Structure 1
Amino acid sequence: MPSNIDSVSAIQDITDAIRATTAFLSPPDIQQYVKLGFLIVFLGGVGGIGPVQLLTGIGNVDTDNPVMDEPGSNTASFSDMLTTLDNSELSLIIGVVVVILLCFIGLLAVGSIFEFIFVEVLRQERIKIRAYWRQWWRQGLRLLGFRLVVGALTVIPIAVIALTVVIPLITSGNSPSFGVVIFALGICVTTIILSGLLTGLIKTFVVPVMIIQDETLLTAWQRFWPTVRSEWKEYSIYLIIRFVLQLIIGIATGLILTLSTIIFAIPAILILAAGILLGEATGIIGITLIIGAIFVFAFGILSTAILAAVPIQIFLRYYALFLLGDTNSRFDLITDRRMSVRKS
């Protein structure tokens, strides 16, 4: 049964999570950081920003393109593109799409299993990735199935709405009304928010319940949901605080990565310049220096991102585990850490 607690645990647990994170990472260990960084790369990266979010910023559309001003030009080019493709080209396109989709599902599967491994690392306070993988890969695949279903339920209505709005523009050049666009955007944003909220609750709270109860996802959700209903104030406060923390973390990490970009760009530019100059005389040395410049820059940014991401993600997960144990003692995975932090 949920414990009878004050409605401020979601605030008090922030301090406990900070202390637990500091204790977990003390004393500093490079090998431990590397292993944790490897896990966190598949768990969303710095501040929960993953590859999907990064890929959305492809670029800006040039609205002054004269081709866009001609209603029939889009239809002609689109039709021409379809008619000029033969069977081999269509097969190649389909094959590329299938390969990309399989790679995405593979990465999602690894990330789903790593969700259990990450919680188990904090629970046992030992980083044993292979042992925990053997222990939790089945539960991880169950989480993968859930994420695929939620993803499909999110993408399908968004795709239908998008096609409903875009098809008239492609086929006839008629732009949809402002009200239709606003309605479509509202549905898409609402769907994405609800999907993200549900997936976040599952990964943050239901995964620990699955671990401690050794149950399936649906059964763990059924056990967890009464706690949410009885302690809805705590979880509402948690969601608000988590949102604010994500904003603060996003801004802070953005500044850190910007600063590190400037710092590592200086030696990378110097090495690159030397490579270009030497490349005219000795091609091999020049190419080696150019590759070295790219490596220095990429390694510096990646190292900085991992260095920042490790304590951030540990803190966020500890924060959720503290709240989960406070709202229901049966779901407490970090009893020893909780006691040691609150004694100090």
Structure 2
Amino acid sequence: MSLHAVDEIERAFGVTREFLTPIDVRRWLKLAFVVFFVGGGVSFPSAQFNASAPSEEIPAGDVPGSLPNGLADALPADPLLIVVALVGAGVLLGAVFAFVAAVMEFVLIESLRTGEVSIRRHWRRRWRQGLRLFGFRVAVGLPMLALVLGWLALVFVPLLTGRDLGVPFVAFLAGIPVLLVGGVVYGLVSGFTTTLVVPLMIRFDSGVLAAWRRLWESIRAAWTQYLAYAVVAFLLTVAVGLVASIAVGIVAVLLAVPFVVVALIAHVTVSLSSTVGLVVLVGLVLVFGATMLVISALAQVPVVTYLRYYALLVLGGIDESFDLVSERREVVAGE
């Protein structure tokens, strides 16, 4: 029996090459922007804090070197309120990033399917499905997060409260296999949702659960094909990710040389410990960091493109009704 997970490895290279060449800077920059969100995920816990203010406080104006009374009165008196505000802001930013990342999954697949990288048009068409994907990811991710936090609490809670560690530590060790199994299940569900269910949502213009039902029926009928895909896709992800990381590392070393030279010149002329020197140093660090961020995103474009085309080709090979890239498959086959 032929395994599509093996057969489509080489074809995916051809389809990726056909999609990314000839190199168009504007097109690659738009793909890098999409990949920046798609390449990462955000899981965010919910937190709740209950705190009461101390009964006796020293007026801020009476403490030497403290803030003026007017400004001190405008700030929260309880430091925990500041912590709550910071955590809330972090959760909000994480949620926004995760929502954008979910919509960008559809923008990417639509770009690969149609051959046209149009962020605004694909966003307008697919943002509702992206919202559903975002909700599904939260629903799947929170139980896994709770499992990890509960497992860690078995040790840290007794340590913080000064209780005996004997029984909790045994439970902690016994929980390792459970955590591993849960991690594998979560990884498969999350990975299949991203690489296989999202294309089905586009193909049938459906929600997450409806697409998962179609995929599950196909898995039951051809489970060996999907198992092979899971294994090969994991190995390909590690391999191409390692190659991309090495390439980015080499570029980072080469790019750091002129920045170090400029820093040394600034140190000789104005001293990095001076105000001007610190401004120059901070500016160099920011420019280097921004440059490397762009380079890393660009380096991920062929990696993510290849892996997603590979998933689309395998999906369409297993079930022709799931095929989103039949035209590109035929073009490469005819070469």
Indicate whether the TM-score tops 0.5.
yes
Higher mean alpha-carbon deviation, 240-249 vs 169-178, is at: 169-178
CA gap of 1:281–1:205, structure 2 versus 1, over 3 A, is closer
The root-mean-square deviation of aligned C-alpha atoms, in Å, is 2.6
**Helix, strand or coil for the counterpart of 2:21?**
coil
Shift of residue 42, structure 1, vs aligned partner = 0.3
Instruction: Choose from 7, 11, 20 the match for 1:12.
Output: 7
Q: State percent identity of aligned pairs.
A: 30
In 1, Cα distance between the equivalents of 2:314 and 2:121? 27
Higher mean alpha-carbon deviation, 125-134 vs 304-313, is at: 304-313
In 2, Cα distance between the equivalents of 1:156 and 1:302? 32
Match status 1:135 vs 2:114: no
Structure 2 residue runs of 5 or longer lacking an equivalent are 44-53, 58-75
Shift of residue 255, structure 1, vs aligned partner = 1.9
Shift of residue 299, structure 1, vs aligned partner = 3.9
Contact 1:264-1:296 at 8 Å conserved across structures: no
CA gap of 1:226–1:290, structure 2 versus 1, over 3 A, is same
Aligned pairs for 1:26-105 (under 5 A) are 26-44=21-39, 88-105=78-95
Q: What TM-score do you get using the length of structure 2 for normalisation?
A: 0.84
Instruction: Choose from 211, 233, 254 the match for 1:220.
Output: 211
Contact 1:260-1:300 at 8 Å conserved across structures: no
Please tell me the residue identity of whatever aligns with 1:30: V
Match status 1:340 vs 2:335: no
Shift of residue 285, structure 1, vs aligned partner = 6.0
Shift of residue 10, structure 1, vs aligned partner = 1.0
Where does residue 149 of structure 2 map in the other structure? 159
In 1, Cα distance between the equivalents of 2:283 and 2:20? 32
**Helix, strand or coil for the counterpart of 1:42?**
helix
In 2, Cα distance between the equivalents of 1:23 and 1:172? 63
In 1, Cα distance between the equivalents of 2:245 and 2:98? 25
Structure with the bigger RCO (C-alpha within 8 Å, sep 6+) is 1
**Helix, strand or coil for the counterpart of 2:38?**
coil
Shift of residue 304, structure 1, vs aligned partner = 3.0
**Helix, strand or coil for the counterpart of 1:238?**
helix
Higher mean alpha-carbon deviation, 144-153 vs 294-303, is at: 294-303
In 1, Cα distance between the equivalents of 2:55 and 2:115? 60
Runs ≥4 in structure 1, deviation > 3 angstroms? 82-87, 173-179, 280-289
Where does residue 316 of structure 2 map in the other structure? 325
Match status 1:239 vs 2:235: no
Contact 1:324-1:332 at 8 Å conserved across structures: yes
Structure 1 residue runs of 5 or longer lacking an equivalent are 1-5, 53-81
